[in-house]
Chains A and B, each alone.
Chain A
Amino acid sequence: MELLLTALGLILAGGLAPLPLLRRPACARIVHLVLLTAGCLAGLAALIRTWGQGIAPVFSCTWLHTLPLSLALDSLSAVFLVPVFLLAPVIALYGYHYLDRKAPVWQAGAHLFCFSLLTAAMVLVTLADNLPAFAMAWELMSLSSYLLVLYDHEHEESRKAATLYLLFTQTGALLLFIAFGLLFQATGTFAFAQWSQAPHAIKLAAFFLALAGFGSKAGILPLHIWLPHAHPAAPSHVSALMSGVMIKMGVYGLLRFYFLIDDPAPILGRTVLGLGMVSGVLGVVYALGKNDIKRLLAYSSIENIGIVLIGCGLGMVGIASGNQTMTAFGFAGGLLHMFNHALFKSLLFMGAGAVIQQTGCRHLDQLGGLMRRMPVTARTFLTGSVAIAGLPPLNGFVSEFLIYFAAFQGVRLNGPDGLLAMAAIIALALIGGLASACFTRVAGLVFLGEPRRPLPATVTEAGLSMRAAMIVLVLACLSIGLWPEPFIRLALNGLSDLALPAASQPALLGSLPGNLALATRIFLAVLLLLALCRHFIYRAKPIAQATTWGCGFTRPTARIQYTGTSYAREMVEFHRPFVKIHTTCGPISQIFPRPVRYASKVDDWAEIGLRRLLVAPILLIADKLRWIQHGHIQLYIGYIVLTIAVLLLTV
């Protein structure tokens, strides 16, 4: 296990070593990148070495003479460590060309340091094996990510977003600590291992508290509010790291907690499943409604977390109802989707970052036709879109398929579980459709068609390191899509050290992964065949170029292209009750109408609810209470006398 600690050390060194070199940014970044990569590779090596060898203690000590800190590596941690170790270097690589070099020295330094710190903190979170260690790691993660979000601190909204994020993450953390405290009080030990002995009622209470706590980190509706604010505010590769990897720590915590309390109550699985469906569907609906490309991606993260939760929820239901196959496929699907989402969501954020860096514009309805200017970015982004829409032959489909399979297993069950499973299938279908609509929209509006406003000549392909990072991720997506077997087994392996040995048998998968691969390969074969025929047919055929057929409209301009707003309008309106659509449009008057401004925005009911029901009242009460301190010394003495009077009554 020294290797793993070495990895941690290297990662942290990657944060500290650049600080003296900040005068030469490029140099500092290279050092950062090299050390970080080395650390992550060491970590991967450690994982490979200990793969499937059961629970291995990593490190333990006593902190402040009282609090035991202990780290241990088990299969679940390993599965969640893989994306961390894989993605952190790639994202850092992207960051090499992405961050502007004109930033002040301390800012760049803080950024590099926090980036490493966040990576290390995530590793620690997955390894933490008792309360103090987990709390420490969790808070370090929150802190570093908060500072990373604060990178563009000149902008008002990014400060607001960071503050909002800090609040949510602190709320979540404190809820978690309460949950942990309850279990501690019930069992009298900090060690996670013994917490399964707590009484049932305590376990339930703790679980729901923890669900809220982890949910606010993972971005489960309705605790997701910080997410669509923080991601647009942060630099794109930070968004990639946070959305791709960090929010998964919420899922990790939830699973870890679920397994360590080891409570058979079916309500747990049902709740998670239900929340998953809500997050999934509403997440993608809101994503459709958004026009800011990064905000859209943020909402789509919520959607994918929803899918992951559907998978895990099905797994939990499977445990509760003793259905091994369902358990295996549910968790395997959930974990694999977690991994896949880490890949393609980072990829998409990188693409968005490249676009924003080049055009300086993040509004869908003002972009377009970037395919010619930035071919690599465009192609990678398109691949990412296909993947995130969960379509074969890419990786998104593999995980969704497993979840579907688990859900179909669940359809057999009677009672609420069966109905929930059916609902899950329908929800997944709906999510799939909406997701593909959503991402045809993004890819189509940003990269295809014509530029909706003239592009400056400076808009060119993204920097080398950025392209490299994106290509790496595309290759990863493709490989999972085409050779799913090893990855499915990897995901399934995540369960091997947990309380359910039976469900982690690869035998349960049967020949399914192979068949899946077969199907996609058949499709690709057909495609290839057709492509050959097409090529053959097109030989010696006249190929002409012309403008798009304007349907008789003689003077088409780029500005008459279909906008993203109108593209999504019907689909968003279909979900009216959960979506608030504000449309402001001036009246059309006179015979020759003046140009009217039309604006519409889609609001998130959770956010509105929070404002109306929580924030506004608190601020109001606070204002009312401020008269306490209004200067009359006589009144102040009166308080003292009053307090005495009240207390003397208690004697």
Chain B
Amino acid sequence: MVTSIDVVLVITLLSVLLSLASSRMMALVKIMALQGAMVSVAPLLLDKHSSLSHEGIFFFQLMFLVKAVLIPVLLFTAVTRVAIKREVEPLVGYHASLVAGLGLILLSAYITRHLAIPSTGKATLLLVTAITTLGGGLFLMMSRTKAITQVIGYLMLENGIYLVGTALTSQSHSIYLVEFGVLLDLLVGVMIMGIILHNINRTFDDVDTAYLEELKD
């Protein structure tokens, strides 16, 4: 039978594929919001988090807030300020990217099967999703030329890693201090990236990384 966790994960996978295929910035931002929401919800549906402490509840609310609301808003403002509609010429075309995404899923399924993982009883799909998201993020960063798309890729990478973390660690999240830290870093990181994006845009009237190839040997 289909459990809720599976639904969440499938949506996440779809979001990865969509992000690979979509050319519009706005669409990408929305997809990221969706993905963030899914990723932040996913752990709750795992049975090992069935019983939550107060900090737990608070933490997951906060995470939802950051991943699904704050960061997308940041991106949204950035995109509007930058005022670019679409990724004009990516290094890898959209159809190719889509195919690559599918390949990525296959690869991660393969990896998952070949990893002898003690703790993930039924959550193999979780791991597949995680690795795909991770890879998808890296792929975006390598294949897109707009700086902003790379930020999005980085976020996807973080999501993937977070999923891997939730999938693998059987450590009972006694105190969430550490996770707060991670989240904080993520947030500040995206902020700083936003600032730099803004400056890039102001300097070059564009956020294309093609302008950022002065420094070389």
Interface string of A617-651 (1 = CB under 8 A from B): 00000000010011111100110010000000000
Contact of B142 among A630, A631, A637 (CB under 8 A): A637
Contact of B213 among A632, A637, A638, A641 (CB under 8 A): A632
Q: Is the CB of B214 within 8 A of A637?
A: no
Q: Is the CB of A631 within 8 A of B215?
A: yes
Q: Is the CB of A631 within 8 A of B216?
A: yes
A638 CB contacts on chain B under 8 angstroms: 142
A626 CB contacts on chain B under 8 angstroms: 217
Q: Does B8 contact A (CB under 8 A)?
A: no
Cα distance A638–B141 in the bound complex, in angstroms: 9
B145 CB contacts on chain A under 8 angstroms: 634
CB of A634, distance to nearest CB on chain B (Å): 5
Cα distance A638–B150 in the bound complex, in angstroms: 13
CB of B20, distance to nearest CB on chain A (Å): 15
Q: Is the CB of A629 within 8 A of B142?
A: no
For chain A, what secondary structure do more than half of its interface residues adopt (helix, strand, loop), or is it mixed?
helix
Cα distance A629–B91 in the bound complex, in angstroms: 19
Cα distance A637–B135 in the bound complex, in angstroms: 12
Cα distance A46–B132 in the bound complex, in angstroms: 79
Given known contacts A637-B141, A641-B138, A641-B142, is B217 in contact with A630 (CB within 8 Å)?
yes
Interface string of A5-27 (1 = CB under 8 A from B): 00000000000000000000000
In the complex formed, the residue of B with least CB distance to A629 is B217
Interface string of B149-192 (1 = CB under 8 A from A): 01000000000000000000000000000000000000000000
Contact of B214 among A629, A631, A634, A641 (CB under 8 A): A631
Q: How many A residues face the partner with a CB closer than 8 A?
A: 10
Cα distance A632–B142 in the bound complex, in angstroms: 10
Cα distance A630–B138 in the bound complex, in angstroms: 20
- Among B212, B215, B217, the one with the most A-chain Cβ atoms within 10 Å of its Cβ is B217
A641 CB contacts on chain B under 8 angstroms: 138, 142
Q: Is the CB of A634 within 8 A of B142?
A: yes
Q: Is the CB of B216 within 8 A of A630?
A: yes
Interface string of B60-75 (1 = CB under 8 A from A): 0000000000000000
Cα distance A397–B144 in the bound complex, in angstroms: 80
B216 CB contacts on chain A under 8 angstroms: 629-631
Cα distance A632–B138 in the bound complex, in angstroms: 15
Q: Is the CB of A633 within 8 A of B212?
A: yes
Q: Does B23 contact A (CB under 8 A)?
A: no
CB of A624, distance to nearest CB on chain B (Å): 12
Cα distance A637–B142 in the bound complex, in angstroms: 6
In the complex formed, the residue of A with least CB distance to B145 is A634
Cα distance A582–B214 in the bound complex, in angstroms: 45
A634 CB contacts on chain B under 8 angstroms: 91, 141-145, 209
B150 CB contacts on chain A under 8 angstroms: 633
Interface residues of A (CB under 8 A from B): 626, 629-634, 637-638, 641
Interface residues of B (CB under 8 A from A): 91, 138, 141-145, 150, 209, 212-217
New A-B contacts (5) at CB < 8 Å, excluding given A633-B212, A634-B209: A631-B214, A632-B209, A634-B91, A637-B138, A641-B138
Closest 5 CB pairs of A and B: A631-B213, A631-B216, A629-B217, A630-B216, A634-B142
